[in-house]
């Protein structure tokens, strides 16, 4: 009896559900580097290199654990370029009598898998992906009958479920959430943890050469590639984060500094998302740092909330909302994505820095994604689907199940308020408070109108005014409309004119915008 077990590029854990209870002697594991996956969006070169190298290392690890692995490389002349076609070829090679696979993370791939049984005439068992902390069905049960799906309440259930940072049935320290303490701006000159990174080995060098040759027209740089591609390498990144960055993670969670891509963030999302790290083990390690007195509670709670709260919540929401979620556009925004998102060439210093480091590393931290690139796209009325495709392509940690709810829902308010209780819209004052970007900008953050004024200022009011019919009744936004209504008529007109002038330059693809 032979079972064919396809293992996808984000299923790189020995404990993945499709392998459980199977005798390696009865199974053939199929791993496939395929053009469909490398090119369904123009992924950042670094992301492709990271995933292919991690896949090749994982195949070695599986073999060492006794599994037979059939590995199809991208440059194999017989490679047909898609999961389904490669499964068909593998069936001809191995003549299995059934297929077993862990459910794909993305609706796009799930739709393909749904046809396998009819297409191949074999039983296909699709196992739930058990690498999340909430068990399958937990989110749907929690969401049933609720009017609002606020993450904070999901998070409290997850604290109870895991026992993380719990004192009996009460939260450690008496509060569920210490976010109010986590909004300190960072000043240049503070000690900032540095990343050591992992030097590429021979296998990674081979992949880097392949990617450089084959994906020349994809965005991003491969220079200085230093990502971990094994669980051991990812664990070393965890130790570095726990020792150096975790203590400051809470305080400076929302801070931004020019030329400092990571600050106190972990850069562990890529490893979690492809299966090199286990999210619950990571949260337990963070809890242990707090228990040993090496990290304050606001840091440990803030970090654990991102994982058992946000990460599990967006996974649940993606599954619950279904494949049509990607088409939502509550604010009916239609402007195309500006070209500078692919080049970083803009006079707006905040966007130039966040996009520039993204092209370099395939990484920006949460506040850069939400309050710089996301905020500008929201204010400028960019089509949320185009924004979504940009985030999906450009970040090394981007898989649709996590990227889409964050982009379309949280950042672009495209779902009309399922993810966020109000749009994350901010003027330049927010960016000035949380960063040092404005000091080096061609625009003046204090000026509200005129050609030198920070574009975020007028765009903010233009956004509010434009979307009044959709947002006015939101109790969390009423204050902004009261301020707008109290403004002198000529001030309102000047703000609208400044926004219109900026948007006209954007539409004209003015390189100086």
Answer for which of 438, 471, 480, 513 binds ligand SF4 (CB under 6 A) is: 438
10 is an interface residue for ligand DLZ by CB under 6 A:
yes
432 is an interface residue for ligand SF4 by CB under 6 A:
yes
Tell me how far, at minimum, the Cβ of 132 lies from ligand FAD, in Å: 11
Q: Which residues are paired to 166 by β-bridges?
A: 171
Q: Is 354 exposed, middle or buried (0-12, 13-18, 19+ CB in 10 A)?
A: buried
Tell me how far, at minimum, the Cβ of 69 lies from ligand FAD, in Å: 27
Number of residues that bind ligand FAD (CB under 6 A): 28
Residue nearest to ligand DLZ (CB): 9
Number of residues that bind ligand SF4 (CB under 6 A): 14
| Other Cβ atoms closer than 10 A to 451 | 10
Pick the stretch among 267-275, 352-360, 447-455, 465-473 that binds ligand FAD (CB under 6 A). Answer: 267-275
Contact 345/334 with Cβ under 8 angstroms? no
* Contact track, ligand DLZ, 395-434, x by CB under 6 A: ----x-----------------------------------
Residues shown for the chain: 513
456 is an interface residue for ligand SF4 by CB under 6 A:
yes
Cβ distance to ligand SF4 smaller for residue 371 or 420: 371
Contact 251/299 with Cβ under 8 angstroms? yes
Helix axes 312-321, 151-162, angle to 10 degrees: 120
228 is an interface residue for ligand DLZ by CB under 6 A:
no
Answer for which of 34, 321, 434, 441 binds ligand SF4 (CB under 6 A) is: 441
Residues 289-348 contacting ligand FAD, CB under 6 A: 303, 306-307, 310-311, 314
Cβ distance to ligand SF4 smaller for residue 302 or 455: 455
* Contact track, ligand SF4, 338-367, x by CB under 6 A: ----------xxx-----------------
Cα angle value 372/375/378 (rounded, 5°): 150
Secondary structure E strands in 83-222? 98-102, 124-127, 166-167, 170-171
Contact 231/57 with Cβ under 8 angstroms? no
Shortest CA distance to 335 belongs to which of 471, 505, 451, 468?
505
Cβ distance to ligand DLZ smaller for residue 14 or 504: 14
Cβ distance to ligand DLZ smaller for residue 79 or 329: 79
Element (H, E) at 318: helix 312-321
Secondary structure E strands in 395-504? none
C-alpha–C-alpha distance, residues 449 and 232, integer Å: 53
Q: Is 54 exposed, middle or buried (0-12, 13-18, 19+ CB in 10 A)?
A: buried
434 is an interface residue for ligand FAD by CB under 6 A:
no
Residue 431 binding: pick among ligand FAD, ligand DLZ, ligand SF4, none (C-beta 5-8 Å cut-off by kind):
ligand SF4
In this structure, what token pair is assigned to residue 284? 């337990």
* Contact track, ligand DLZ, 17-56, x by CB under 6 A: ---------------xxx--xx----x----x--x-----
Handedness of CA 217, 221, 222, 226 (dihedral sign): negative
218 is an interface residue for ligand FAD by CB under 6 A:
no
Cβ distance to ligand DLZ smaller for residue 10 or 312: 10
Contact 79/38 with Cβ under 8 angstroms? no
Tell me how far, at minimum, the Cβ of 38 lies from ligand DLZ, in Å: 4
Answer for which of 229, 238, 398, 477 binds ligand FAD (CB under 6 A) is: 398
Residue 70 binding: pick among ligand DLZ, ligand FAD, ligand SF4, none (C-beta 5-8 Å cut-off by kind):
none
C-alpha–C-alpha distance, residues 107 and 317, integer Å: 13
458 is an interface residue for ligand SF4 by CB under 6 A:
no
227 is an interface residue for ligand FAD by CB under 6 A:
no
Range list of H helices, 336-440: 349-361, 366-368, 374-379, 384-394, 400-404, 428-434
Tell me how far, at minimum, the Cβ of 6 lies from ligand DLZ, in Å: 8
* Contact track, ligand DLZ, 70-109, x by CB under 6 A: ----------------------------------xxx--x
Secondary structure E strands in 290-430? none
Tell me how far, at minimum, the Cβ of 160 lies from ligand FAD, in Å: 20
46 is an interface residue for ligand FAD by CB under 6 A:
no
Contact 66/24 with Cβ under 8 angstroms? yes
132 is an interface residue for ligand FAD by CB under 6 A:
no
Shortest CA distance to 209 belongs to which of 194, 218, 222?
222
Antiparallel, parallel or unpaired: β 166-167 and 170-171: antiparallel
Residues 472-491 contacting ligand FAD, CB under 6 A: none
The gap from C-alpha 90 to its chain's centroid, in whole angstroms, comes to 32
C-alpha–C-alpha distance, residues 37 and 207, integer Å: 16
Interface residues with ligand SF4 (CB under 6 A) are: 348-350, 428, 431-432, 437-438, 441, 443, 445, 454-456
Interface residues with ligand DLZ (CB under 6 A) are: 8-10, 32-34, 37-38, 43, 48, 51, 104-106, 109, 399
């Amino acid at each position: 009896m032979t079972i064919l077990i396809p293992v996808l590029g984000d299923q790189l854990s020995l404990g993945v559900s499709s392998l459980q209870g199977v005798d390696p002697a009865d199974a053939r594991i199929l791993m496939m580097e395929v053009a469909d996956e490398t090119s369904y969006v123009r992924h950042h070169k670094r992301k492709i290199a990271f995933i292919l190298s991690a896949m090749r290392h994982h195949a070695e690890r599986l073999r060492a654990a006794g599994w037979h692995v059939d590995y199809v490389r991208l440059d194999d002349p017989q490679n047909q370029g898609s999961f389904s076609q490669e499964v068909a070829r593998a069936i001809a090679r191995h003549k299995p009598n059934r297929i077993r696979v862990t459910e794909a993370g993305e609706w796009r791939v799930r739709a393909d898998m749904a046809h396998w049984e009819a297409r191949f005439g074999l039983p296909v068992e699709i196992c739930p992906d058990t690498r999340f902390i909430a068990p399958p069905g937990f989110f749907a049960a929690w969401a049933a009958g609720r009017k609002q799906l606020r993450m904070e309440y999901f998070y409290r259930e997850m604290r109870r479920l895991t026992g993380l940072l719990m004192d009996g049935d009460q939260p450690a320290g008496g509060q569920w959430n210490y976010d109010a303490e986590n909004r300190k701006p960072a000043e240049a000159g503070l000690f900032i943890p540095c990343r050591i990174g992992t030097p590429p080995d021979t296998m990674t060098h081979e992949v880097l050469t392949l990617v450089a040759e084959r994906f020349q027209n994809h965005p991003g740089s491969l220079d200085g590639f230093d990502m971990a591609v094994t669980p051991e390498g990812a664990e070393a990144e965890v130790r570095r984060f726990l020792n150096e960055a975790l203590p400051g993670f809470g305080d400076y969670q929302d801070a931004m500094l020019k030329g400092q891509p990571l600050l106190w963030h972990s850069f562990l999302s890529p490893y979690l998302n492809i299966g090199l790290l286990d999210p619950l083990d990571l949260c337990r390690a963070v809890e242990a740092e707090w228990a040993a007195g090496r990290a304050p509670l606001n840091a440990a709670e803030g970090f654990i909330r991102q994982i058992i709260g946000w990460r599990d919540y967006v996974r649940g929401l993606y599954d619950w909302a279904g494949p049509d979620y990607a088409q939502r556009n509550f604010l009916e925004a239609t402007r195309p994505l500006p070209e500078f998102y692919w080049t970083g060439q803009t006079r707006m210093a905040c966007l130039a820095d966040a996009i520039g480091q993204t092209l370099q590393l395939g990484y920006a931290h949460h506040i850069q994604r939400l309050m710089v690139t996301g905020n500008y796209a929201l204010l400028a009325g960019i089509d949320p689907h185009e924004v979504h495709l940009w985030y999906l392509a450009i970040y090394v940690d981007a898989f649709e199940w996590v990227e889409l709810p964050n982009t379309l829902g949280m950042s672009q308010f495209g779902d009309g308020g399922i993810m966020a209780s109000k749009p994350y819209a901010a003027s330049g004052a927010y960016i000035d408070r949380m960063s040092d970007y404005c000091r080096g900008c061609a625009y003046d953050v204090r000026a509200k109108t005129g050609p030198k004024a920070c574009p975020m200022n007028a765009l903010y009011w233009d956004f509010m005014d434009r979307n009044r019919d959709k947002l006015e009744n939101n109790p969390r936004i009423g204050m902004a409309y009261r301020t707008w209504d109290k403004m002198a008529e000529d001030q309102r007109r000047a703000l609208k004119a400044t926004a219109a002038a900026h948007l006209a330059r954007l539409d004209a693809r003015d390189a100086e915008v």
